[in-house]
């Protein structure tokens, strides 16, 4: 796995709807910009060898960093794979949609639910939104949120941005009724 760079973004929301947010809402994202292991190889029928060689290492690299950057217990989480224009969306999906990758984050966050994800292909500097859900119950509406990310010089055509995001809480000032009220 060739990592060109790691970007860490921490957002603190202090005010929402004209009112103070207490405690301050924190969201962290850690993204690795890696060389696409399938770049310049044409259509690769079996992605398994590249997944086996990279997915677990990526999860092990990113999961502790995002929890550390958050500086709090994670209550919501998500993941992303943004593939450069020279690759396929399936390349990014292969790396993040495996337990070899996701279990590192689930363990670090004491989570049990599936990680929500975004996958897309685009040029360097593309904006992408990482969806977040509660770490143990994806039906908890207060934790359905997104975090917007942009890495100005990534991904290059032969790269993939792999990112994890964590939030220490649900949406600031959330006021929606529980899903159970509609069932």
pLDDT in tens, 85-131: 999 999 999 999 999 999 999 999 999 999 999 999 999 999 999 99
Pairwise CA distance, residues 11 & 131, whole Å: 15
CATH number for the domain that contains residue 153: 3.30.1330.110
pTM of the model: 0.95
Pairwise CA distance, residues 165 & 159, whole Å: 20
Q: What is the pLDDT of residues 18-41, one digit of tens each?
A: 999 999 999 999 999 999 999 989
Token pair 């069932």: residue: 183
Side-chain half-sphere CA neighbours of 155 within 13 A: 31
Q: Which domain holds residue 99?
A: 3-182
Report helix angle 99-109 to 48-70, nearest 10. Answer: 20
Q: Say how many domains are in the chain.
A: 1
Peptide bond into 11 cis (omega under 30): no
Phi, psi (rounded to 5 degrees) for 62: -85, -40
């Amino acid at each position: 796995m060739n990592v060109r760079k790691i970007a860490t973004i921490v957002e603190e929301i202090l005010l929402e709807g004209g009112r103070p947010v207490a405690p301050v809402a924190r969201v962290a994202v850690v993204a690795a910009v890696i060389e696409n292991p399938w770049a310049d190889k044409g259509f690769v029928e079996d992605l398994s060898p590249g997944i086996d060689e990279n997915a677990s290492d990526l999860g092990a690299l990113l999961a502790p960093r995002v929890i550390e950057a958050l500086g709090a217990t994670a209550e919501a989480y998500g993941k992303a794979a943004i593939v450069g224009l020279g690759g396929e969306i399936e390349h990014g999906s292969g790396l993040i949609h495996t337990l070899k990758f996701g279990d590192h984050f689930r363990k670090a966050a004491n989570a049990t639910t599936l990680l929500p994800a975004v996958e897309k292909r685009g040029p360097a500097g593309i904006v992408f939104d990482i969806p977040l859900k509660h770490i143990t119950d994806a039906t908890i509406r207060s934790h359905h949120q997104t975090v917007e990310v942009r890495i100005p010089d990534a991904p290059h055509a032969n790269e993939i941005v792999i990112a994890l995001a964590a939030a220490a809480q649900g949406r600031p000032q959330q006021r929606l009724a529980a899903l159970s009220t509609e069932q």
